[in-house]
């Protein structure tokens, strides 16, 4: 049984901490800063950091990797197509890795960066997805390196995973993402409800993650590009006809960039 907690870092990052309590071993995902992880290890004597999973090369995801590796000897996994400091295992699409007894499948999700990968664990009851800055709660990552078509395809691959999959993304952006979602779909009751729920959580400084794919499909505009209401909203806004879900996605992303 693996317990998963978030270690906050910087202003809005989360470093996911996976804990194998029986063996007192743990792993972290995207440690942009070593300090919160080292502080946790200090509070938990006897625990060993065995693995570090990295989704992409941005500093807020890899900044703590080398210090943690030097301090603990942890093995570092990361995307093969990017420069990842201290990487021991280079991962390509469809690779599989076993971490703390969990089997993860690698899904290449280019868009935010070109080599970005996600880690998916197909556990029967609670499948897990660590998707970095690709799929956010009610949003998606900015396109720093890839094209809208690439990102749209990446999100389609993630959306095809089981609806009950728990989505562990790396930033607390949910509330601002939902403000945008409300602008795209003012009549969507699921978005309205989630906006209220998340407003409450944030008012108490609580985390809004993990999400589920089921909830994302109901409330995340970037997974709703085939909805007539989303397409029509964009057609109306841009004064053009968006012929495909991919062009709807591109229009949404450009709108959100300026929102
Ligand atoms: Zn990033
Ligand atoms: Fe980030």
Active-site annotation holder among 30, 51, 57, 61: 61
With beta carbons less than 8 A apart as the criterion, state whether 16 and 66 touch: no
Cα separation of 156 and 126, whole Å? 20
Binding residues for Zn(2+): 56, 58, 60-61, 112, 133, 171
Domain boundaries, the chain: 2-168, 173-258
Active-site annotation holder among 20, 33, 51, 60: 60
CATH homologous superfamily of 2-168: Ribonuclease Z/Hydroxyacylglutathione hydrolase-like (3.60.15.10)
Distance between Cα 133 and ligand 2 center (Å): 6
Distance between Cα 179 and ligand 2 center (Å): 20
Q: Which is it for strands 117-121 and 89-91: parallel, antiparallel or unpaired? A: unpaired
Reply yes or no on whether the pLDDT at 27 is more than 90. Answer: yes
Structure pTM?
Answer: 0.98
Backbone angles phi, psi at 75, to 5 degrees: -85, 135
Closest-approaching ligand to the CA atom of 112: 1
Distance between Cα 60 and ligand 1 center (Å): 7
Active-site annotation holder among 56, 57, 116, 152: 56
**Mean pLDDT, the chain, whole residue set:** 97
Active-site annotation holder among 20, 57, 133, 152: 133
Reply yes or no on whether the pLDDT at 22 is more than 90. Answer: yes
**Quick check: is 122 catalytic?**
no
Q: Which is it for strands 166-169 and 128-132: parallel, antiparallel or unpaired? A: parallel
Which is more confidently placed, 29 or 242? Answer: 29
- Give the pLDDT of residue 242: 85
- Give the pLDDT of residue 1: 86
Percent of the chain with pLDDT over 70: 100
């Amino acid at each position: 049984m693996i317990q998963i907690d978030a270690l906050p870092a910087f202003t809005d990052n989360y470093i996911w901490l996976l804990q194998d309590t029986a063996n007192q071993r743990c792993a972290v995902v995207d440690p942009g800063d070593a300090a919160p992880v080292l502080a946790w290890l200090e509070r938990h004597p006897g625990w060993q950091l065995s693995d570090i999973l990295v989704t992409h090369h941005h500093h807020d995801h890899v900044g703590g990797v080398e210090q943690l590796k030097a301090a603990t000897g942890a093995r570092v996994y990361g995307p093969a197509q990017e420069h990842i400091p201290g990487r021991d295992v280079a991962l390509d699409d469809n690779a599989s890795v076993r971490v703390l007894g969990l089997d993860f499948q690698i899904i290449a999700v280019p868009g935010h960066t070109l080599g970005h990968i996600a880690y998916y664990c197909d556990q029967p009851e609670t499948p897990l997805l660590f998707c970095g800055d690709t799929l956010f709660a009610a949003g998606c990552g900015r396109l720093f390196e890839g094209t809208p078509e690439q990102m749209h395809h990446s999100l389609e691959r993630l959306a095809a995973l089981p609806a009950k999959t728990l989505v562990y993304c790396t930033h607390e952006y949910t509330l601002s993402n939902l403000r945008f979602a409300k602008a795209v779909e003012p009549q969507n009751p699921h978005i309205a409800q989630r906006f209220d729920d998340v407003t409450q959580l944030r008012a108490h400084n609580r985390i809004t993650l993990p999400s589920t794919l089921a909830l994302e499909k109901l409330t995340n505009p970037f997974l709703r590009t085939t909805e007539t209401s989303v397409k029509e909203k964009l057609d109306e806004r841009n004064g053009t006809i968006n012929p495909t879900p991919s062009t709807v996605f591109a229009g949404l992303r450009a709108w959100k960039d300026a929102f």
